[in-house]
Structure 1
Amino acid sequence: MKKLTIFLLSALCMVSMQLWAQRFVDVPLLSPVAGGPQLVRLQVVSDKIIRVEATPERAFPAKQSLIIVPQKPFSDYQVKQSATAVTVSTRSLRAVVDRSNGHVRFFSSGGRELLAGDGAGGMKFTPFTVPEREIGADSKLTEAQKHGWTWQATFASPADEAFYGLGQHQSEELNMKGRNEDLFQYNTKISVPFVLSNKGYGLLWDSYSYCRFGNPAEYLQLNGAFSLYDRDGKPGGLTGTYVGKNGEQLVRTEDSIYFENSETIVNLPRGFKLNGSHVTYEGFIEAPVDNLYRFILYYAGYVRVFIDGTEVVPERWRTAWNPNAYKFNYALKRGKRARLKIDWKPDGDVSYCGLRAAAPRPEAEQAKLSIWSEMSRDMDYYFIAGNSMDEVISGYRTLTGRAQVMPRWVMGFWQSRERYKTSGEIERTLAEFRQRHIPIDNIVQDWNYWRLDDWGSHAFEADRYPNPQAMLDSVHAMHGRFMISVWPKFYVTTNHYRQLDARGWMYHQAVRDSIYDWLGFMGSFYDAYDAGARKLFWKQMNEELYSKYRYGIDAWWMDASEPNVRDCTPMWYRKALCGPTALGSATEYFNAYSIVNADAIYNGQRSVNPGRRVFLLTRSGFAGEQRYSTASWSGDIGTRWEDMRAQMTAGMNFSMSGIPFWGMDQGGFCVENRYMAAQTAFDQTGEENADLQEWRELQARWNQFGCFIPLYRTHGQWPLREVWNIAPESHPAYKSIVWYHRLRYRLMPYLYSMAGAVHFSDYTMMRALVMDFTDDARVNNIKDQWMFGPSLMACPVGYYKARSREVYLPRQRGWFDFYTGKHYAGGQTITASAPYERIPVFVPEGSIIPIGPAMEWSDEKPAELINLYVYGGRDAEFTLYEDENTNYDYEKGQYSTIKFSYHSASQTLTISRRNGRFDGMLQQRRFNIVLIDAAHGRPLDLDKPQGRMVKYSGKAVKVKL
């Protein structure tokens, strides 16, 4: 039907009427107020998705979205108006616009309020002009591109609501209710403008700028949030004491602790050698009001924080070149001084430390759903309703694009390190896996395979890689896959830089400011927001890597895709370094670089080799990235137990941000000096000291954790991360890591079926417990357990020397110990055994887990025999998905599914007729059905479990167990 815009004029306000099949509903407000909207627009996208736009101007801007894909027209809705409101209704959803202030309220079809704009500040607009220092001297921005709106949307939120999503962050936070999160891209930090509620909805806002969730105000310096006193009670600042490694001492007053970036660390004592020093900041803070204060700590080196003698931040560490942020809360009373102590041990001559506090707010205000965007053309968000969190995420992917079926080998194990330096290292490492019969699919070439001064050439350095084609052929002959790192970065001396620059497609600020990277060379990043630049970027990759080596490159590692032109710069300078873009200012498009860069590779490869599935791993991410066959990982994280624990919440929230494939550097990337020293000592003496013992246990626990996330990949700086380099064969760390490698491959039918469900059913693999047990409030903030698919609850061990841990078993199901088959009632917390070699894993009643043959690579053999574990106690279903593993024939319908249904009362399993077909499909196969229930627990047997053997030729079969 032809698009039609409805203007509901005030002269018609008293007339009740219904309007049908309209694409847009524009609602002018009766008496617009300063700072509020003049015009609100509703667009019905589907039965459960409504778009809301609001503007303080008289008309909406013309714009195109980077994250929303074209939608089918939808006309099955009604519009009603009254003197005070305009209502748009579908069969499942009702949206009501208040004509006095523009607030929108959303209701289910049954009348339950799902979300409502709140208070006088429910919609706020402030004119925004891009600061000159963020634009750059060679800007071609028009005047219109320099201006936009800062907006804030605030919604009421009941006390029992919980919020998830927002991307991947590092403060060990899961439920974001009442919390603050700054949304920008950085190494270890991925920001996605999507929040998911346990109340049956999600919000996706179409903004690419720096945003904030929670408190819309910037964190304050300590002297802006509190009255400060030194350690002797003198007002004006804290006491800073700097003790050098040789005993030299300096004491001075600090009016704030904000040494967080390249601009502010100059305020540290000049000439003082930080590396090896011990710094303390101590004194008193006095709060202006009673409040639960929310702090953010920024640190490199070792740091602890104490308030009134309580250790509010136990020791944390991060390498000097890659600081981290951590948040904590503390209640303070008005006018009462609290003793503050920051204990800091820098581990580099350049290091960072900062502590700030959010402006105090009443808890009732803090608990609301609040979104702030620095710069947009207008306020633009999508309300997505759903009867489950899966249904809401499905709506998100309806808007932003369906995820691809990843190549089957992606579900296997990947070996990486920072970095393999020669083709010989690559080949020898893969050969060692094969000789030891340890399963592996993918080996990864990290950065600097090029000549040192030739970053951006994409060319292997001949001395170290004399015959790249032979290397690739060797990897493939060993049944491996090869992934290679490609940065969107170019040294000014490369031909590729000159090609891009000649067309105006390079960012110049870094070159203009003569910024040299850590290798001592100068370069910058290309402008991925320009379609022509994206095509040229791919052309260069294709000519130097892809077609040149007969498609021997199997996957792409798109590093530093934030983009990260330079580490540790202030926010304004990061924007200056990353623009201006072809679409507008870097301020407006700050967060979306990774998705346009992914577009370049995905569409580029499919244009050259349309039959092979694309796979991209990217350090950043954004809404919609899943449509480009893209996964993300959590960047250059530290190698400590708290860093491992932080990846649990990071992975769950990233998955609930709608992007299904996520991983991490198993074992951590940046390594403490003590672990490196321990490895060096072992290499010299063969003795395992205390630090090496801890290192090996940390690596074992991290690999156990990694078995139960979408991407199973180890990576990091020295010490080396191949299992035989972590520990000898006789060591429990070695044995445990290899056992979980083999388990991962036995689970391949389960894993690949989930990969199919991600595409065909918008499934999410790594599932916070709230996704499956939403009506059990006890799961809302469980940070260290999750469902990996429908049938495995992973419960990793995140503390050194722990040999047991508490596990909560959600009340909706009974549960089985995955290893022993022992049954437990749901709704209780148990102390689960966690020996060095194993982490607790539980299976809910009503589960079916297909376990395939032992394999050393993902397509070594077809799953002719599947041991089908059926966990009784209630009815169960599972659909086995299979296709050709690496091509796009599934898009043409060439795949098969077999549905298993278990009826608990009759103990009958039905194997459905096989649906679909594909080349190479097994015509005959066997299923060995193993029933486990409360009365018949049995231990896990991966090789020869006792069960009921069934021959299957594609026809339906019923089996009485």
Structure 2
Amino acid sequence: MTFRKIFFVAAAAICCAASATAGQASRTEGGLAFQAQGLNVRVEFYSPDIVRVYKEPVSRPCKKVSIPIIMKPGRVELSFGGGGGVATVASERVAVSVDTETGGIVFADKQGNIMLRDKDYGTQFTPRDDAGRPSFEVRQAFLLDSAEVIYGLGQQQTGLVSQRNQRLLLRNQNMSICIPFVHSAKGYGLYWDNYSPTTFTDNPQEMSFDSEVGDCADYYFIYGGTADGVIAGVRALTGQAPMYPLWTLGFWQSRERYKSPDELCEVVDKYRELKVPLDGIIQDWQYWGCDSNWNSMRFENPRYINKMGDPYYMRFLPKGEKADATGAEPRIKTAKEMIDHVHKRNAHIMISVWASFGPWTDMYHRMDSIGALYDFETWPRHAGVKPYDPFNPVARDLYWAEMKRNMFDLGMDAWWLDSTEPDHFDIKDSDFDVKTYLGSFRSVHNAFPLVTNRGVYEHQRQATSDKRVFLLTRSSFLGQQHYASHSWSGDVTSTWDNMRRQVAAGLNYSLCGIPYWGTDLGGFFASRYNNDINNVAYHELHVRWYEWGVFQPIMRSHNSSPVAVEIYQFGKKGYWAYDAIEKYTRLRYRLLPYLYSTAWEVTSGSGSIIRPLVMDFAGDSRVLELGSEYMFGRSFLVRPVTDSLYTWQDARRNGHQKDMADVASVDVYLPAGADWLDFWTGSKHSGGQTVMREVPIDIMPVYVRAGSIVPFGPDVQYATEKRWDDLEVRVYPGADGRFTLYEDENDNYNYEDGAYTTIEFEWDEAGRTLTIGERKGKFKGMLKSRKFNIVLVGGSTPAGDVPAKGRTVRYDGRAQTVSL
């Protein structure tokens, strides 16, 4: 009997009594249980869309508690059937068939379309010693359709969007975020719930996960029907994403590193002087001083406490640094003054905090006293620094208590949790035998960043509801969105090839259901350009990467010393690099109402900001493996320019500029199923074709889907400088469309109690009317009346980043319709 026929048998047997048996399988409240291959197997529906499969050796039953899964099984209406060694169970959405002899499991939709096969005899348990504890290497194989396209696996640096025909070691490290989750273009997701280093293999014979250690084989099948549905399932399983403060969506400036409070504050002052928008500044490492004092979580570098010359504190000065030759009195003398100065300039500050401690720190000794340090080589090398054990709840309490006392209580706004893989050098197998609170480091390795971020998030939430948590972190795991965690792609080198690879990496990461991701704009290591900020070839790369940054969820410029990448390092107004950077910074701020509303869709509706084209155009086969462009929210098609078009690139020489009047072009594919308007010109194009778009240095190809309604904010110096009482609302005609404008108090958790408003805009293409719906909800200080400047894009109407004149509508919260 074929698998397809099996499901028709299941449908025919749908009226069987719930207590009936099917072959050797027994019915449970949530599904089926049976034995095969010497394994106890349970199939359990968590919801009509989500099925857990759990397998354990009959001789070694165990009780598994998942780290990322927070969903509990719900009561699901199920139908049972089968016969002849095959048992079936079905919800209203998913049908599951099990072969009680081979252990094979087949997942299908209710129409009988097979989604995924758990391979016959595809589960293997190989005994192994795990740090003195009997355990297993665990392998699980699946069968995919030959033409099926799959995504996910976190953030990999392969440059590929499709994860077919790959062999990857999933072990978190700098630049590689490893999540054993695949997302199929067929509309389902598969999460292998194991945190040990795992080899993912896909070849024509099978797809498999081979984990170094585990007591069970445990996975979740998530049926979404669409990519959005799959992501909604991931969020249901692992937690929804909270809102970030509005200011976090502005521009962030960072450098490795600002070496004194004066240096950091001068950057903020310079941006304000130049009237270039800025919301965030970041204090990277070594504010604590030397490597032996690594991550003390205290300002003990003498430059941060006005102790230059004090013999006690001078011992903390980082290696190779000397006291200022002039001995000049600092303007900003302490860390508290630094934080206060940033706030007075209407900006916010983030600080780098690591998952490890140097031997001079109090935290090192406190963690050591409770057995919460890992004994292996981490960054910085040869300094005696050791990672801490975030799986230990007491260690997490100590970690936060020190952060709160020494930084949060001073007014620190956000946290950069660096090296959350953690960094690990000279790797030996015995390093993974290190004991953690939950077992060997081997058994929990990939969950380290999840638990580290969760610890800080939960503690800050307990401390206050008046300040939203914002975490920047270098590593991640499934479910990290639930803890206000934003990942970036690691310390990538500044090359065009690396920039290109980041696009595909971000698309796959987003398809794991984690919405906030970004990159070091311009790349981190500029050694390709001799670390020379005056290298014109580097200018071109940085500008193009920066332009792309406008269309990343978080926009943050960062680079390794000695290169500094503040806008004024790229010349002055009138120089092409400076002008392009300023132009795109202002565009980012104009897009804040659109982006904040999209963030609300992420929080309230399991939405995504980075949307690989398969999410909106799954019916167009040409987009399935396209890794050069994506949707930013539901309106903008973004195609970063990832090739040098105007300068020579030579690592040993300064770049040489070509004639920039000779405008180059790049190809852009416009997906079928929609018409598209060029963001910069308003010209209209049909979908299903490739167009060549001219790209002068200040133009990155951006197209807007016909039917889009996009609110544009005012020109501001920081996100909350002006209220949104006079928004420009652009309608991009060609199809019906709608958009929901979201507003709240910007930086607290009152929205969780309903303190927010929404206004729905709806465009009727046939009637050429825009309906502005009734305002719903309320919050303290909300706008009761305002103006909307309605602009219909196209024809002679201006487009691009320049404000346009349209029809002014006064709005007091009541619905109205505008004819255009």
TM-score w.r.t. the length of structure 2 is 0.89
How far apart, CA to CA, are the structure 2 residues paired with 1:16 and 1:785?
A: 47
Q: Does 1:536 align with 2:398?
A: yes
Matching residue of 1:98: 99
How far apart, CA to CA, are the structure 1 residues paired with 2:484 and 2:379?
A: 33
CA shift, 1:58, in A, is 4.6
Q: Does 1:517 align with 2:380?
A: yes
Equivalent of 1:815 in 676, 692, 715: 676
Q: Which amino acid aligns with 2:90?
A: S
Q: Which amino acid aligns with 2:204?
A: A
CA shift, 1:646, in A, is 1.0
Q: Does 1:464 align with 2:326?
A: no
Q: Which amino acid aligns with 1:584?
A: G
Q: What pairs with 1:735-884 in structure 2 (closer than 5 Å)?
A: 735-801=579-645, 803-884=664-745
Contact 1:15 1:81 in 2 (8 A): no
Indicate how the Cα distance of structure 1 residues 704 and 600 shifts in structure 2: closer, same or farther if over 3 A, else same. same
Q: Does 1:364 align with 2:204?
A: yes
CA shift, 1:14, in A, is 6.0
How far apart, CA to CA, are the structure 1 residues paired with 2:796 and 2:89?
A: 54
Q: Which amino acid aligns with 1:26?
A: A
Matching residue of 1:731: 575
Indicate how the Cα distance of structure 1 residues 788 and 200 shifts in structure 2: closer, same or farther if over 3 A, else same. same
Q: Which amino acid aligns with 1:783?
A: G
TM-score w.r.t. the length of structure 1 is 0.76
CA shift, 1:200, in A, is 1.0
- SS of the aligned residue for 1:486 comes to strand
Q: What pairs with 1:476-487 in structure 2 (closer than 5 Å)?
A: 476-487=343-354
Q: Does 1:429 align with 2:284?
A: no
Contact 1:39 1:59 in 2 (8 A): no
- SS of the aligned residue for 1:528 comes to coil
CA shift, 1:784, in A, is 1.1
Query: Could you report, residue by residue, the CA deviation over 1:692-715 in whole angstroms, capped at 9, with x for unpaired residues?
Result: 111100110010011111110010
Equivalent of 1:954 in 810, 813, 817: 813
Contact 1:928 1:947 in 2 (8 A): yes
Indicate how the Cα distance of structure 1 residues 588 and 941 shifts in structure 2: closer, same or farther if over 3 A, else same. closer
How far apart, CA to CA, are the structure 2 residues paired with 1:9 and 1:470?
A: 69
How far apart, CA to CA, are the structure 1 residues paired with 2:635 and 2:51?
A: 33
Query: Which structure 2 segments of 5+ residues have no match?
Result: 1-16, 306-333, 647-663
Contact 1:822 1:937 in 2 (8 A): no
Where in structure 1 do 4 or more consecutive aligned residues deviate above 4 Å? Answer: 8-17, 941-944
Query: Could you report, residue by residue, the CA deviation over 1:781-812 in whole angstroms, capped at 9, with x for unpaired residues?
Result: 11111100011111111111162101111111
Matching residue of 1:243: none
Equivalent of 1:618 in 473, 484, 492: 473
Q: What pairs with 1:431-450 in structure 2 (closer than 5 Å)?
A: 431-450=269-288
Matching residue of 1:575: 432
Aligned length: 757
Query: Could you report, residue by residue, the CA deviation over 1:11-44 in whole angstroms, capped at 9, with x for unpaired residues?
Result: 9556999x6x813531223xx3xxxx52210111
Matching residue of 2:197: 210
- SS of the aligned residue for 1:151 comes to strand
Matching residue of 2:257: 419
Indicate how the Cα distance of structure 1 residues 787 and 14 shifts in structure 2: closer, same or farther if over 3 A, else same. closer
Matching residue of 1:25: 32
How far apart, CA to CA, are the structure 1 residues paired with 2:90 and 2:145?
A: 24
Matching residue of 1:601: 456
Contact 1:456 1:497 in 2 (8 A): no
Q: Does 1:157 align with 2:144?
A: yes
Q: What pairs with 1:239-638 in structure 2 (closer than 5 Å)?
A: 364-365=204-205, 368-452=206-290, 453-461=292-300, 463-466=302-305, 467-510=334-377, 517-518=380-381, 521-547=383-409, 549=410, 552-564=411-423, 566-567=424-425, 569-570=426-427, 572=429, 575-576=432-433, 579-638=434-493
CA shift, 1:469, in A, is 1.2
- SS of the aligned residue for 2:722 comes to coil
Q: Which amino acid aligns with 1:517?
A: P
Equivalent of 2:186 in 195, 199, 203: 199
Q: What pairs with 1:672-687 in structure 2 (closer than 5 Å)?
A: 672=527, 674-676=529-531, 678-679=532-533
How far apart, CA to CA, are the structure 2 residues paired with 1:14 and 1:615?
A: 52
Equivalent of 1:181 in 148, 168, 178: 168
Contact 1:9 1:28 in 2 (8 A): no
How far apart, CA to CA, are the structure 1 residues paired with 2:248 and 2:186?
A: 34
How far apart, CA to CA, are the structure 2 residues paired with 1:784 and 1:719?
A: 28
How far apart, CA to CA, are the structure 2 residues paired with 1:701 and 1:506?
A: 42
Indicate how the Cα distance of structure 1 residues 705 and 573 shifts in structure 2: closer, same or farther if over 3 A, else same. farther
Matching residue of 1:46: 47
CA shift, 1:96, in A, is 0.9
Instruction: Give the RMSD, CA atoms, in angstroms.
Output: 2.1
Report % sequence identity.
Answer: 38
Query: Could you report, residue by residue, the CA deviation over 1:715-770 in whole angstroms, capped at 9, with x for unpaired residues?
Result: 01121110111333221111111101000000000000011111100111011111
Q: Does 1:910 align with 2:771?
A: yes
- SS of the aligned residue for 2:440 comes to coil
Contact 2:757 2:776 in 1 (8 A): yes
Query: Could you report, residue by residue, the CA deviation over 1:170-194 in whole angstroms, capped at 9, with x for unpaired residues?
Result: 1211111222222110011111121
Indicate how the Cα distance of structure 1 residues 855 and 60 shifts in structure 2: closer, same or farther if over 3 A, else same. farther
Matching residue of 2:117: 116
Contact 1:39 1:58 in 2 (8 A): no
Q: Which amino acid aligns with 1:432?
A: K
Contact 2:788 2:810 in 1 (8 A): yes
Q: Which deviates further from its counterpart, 712-721 or 520-529?
A: 520-529
CA shift, 1:166, in A, is 0.7
CA shift, 1:608, in A, is 1.8
CA shift, 1:10, in A, is 14
How far apart, CA to CA, are the structure 1 residues paired with 2:340 and 2:25?
A: 73
Q: Which amino acid aligns with 1:820?
A: T
CA shift, 1:57, in A, is 2.5
How far apart, CA to CA, are the structure 1 residues paired with 2:32 and 2:592?
A: 49
How far apart, CA to CA, are the structure 2 residues paired with 1:700 and 1:523?
A: 37
How far apart, CA to CA, are the structure 1 residues paired with 2:23 and 2:223?
A: 31
Contact 1:27 1:86 in 2 (8 A): no
Q: Which amino acid aligns with 2:622?
A: R
- SS of the aligned residue for 2:720 comes to coil
Q: Which amino acid aligns with 1:487?
A: W
CA shift, 1:570, in A, is 3.2
How far apart, CA to CA, are the structure 1 residues paired with 2:107 and 2:472?
A: 37
Matching residue of 1:886: 747
Query: Could you report, residue by residue, the CA deviation over 1:388-429 in whole angstroms, capped at 9, with x for unpaired residues?
Result: 101101100100011111111111100000000000011100
How far apart, CA to CA, are the structure 1 residues paired with 2:415 and 2:452?
A: 12
- SS of the aligned residue for 1:863 comes to coil
Contact 2:25 2:87 in 1 (8 A): no
How far apart, CA to CA, are the structure 2 residues paired with 1:580 and 1:16?
A: 39
Query: Could you report, residue by residue, the CA deviation over 1:420-471 in whole angstroms, capped at 9, with x for unpaired residues?
Result: 0000011100010011111111000001011213113211135311321111
Matching residue of 2:6: none
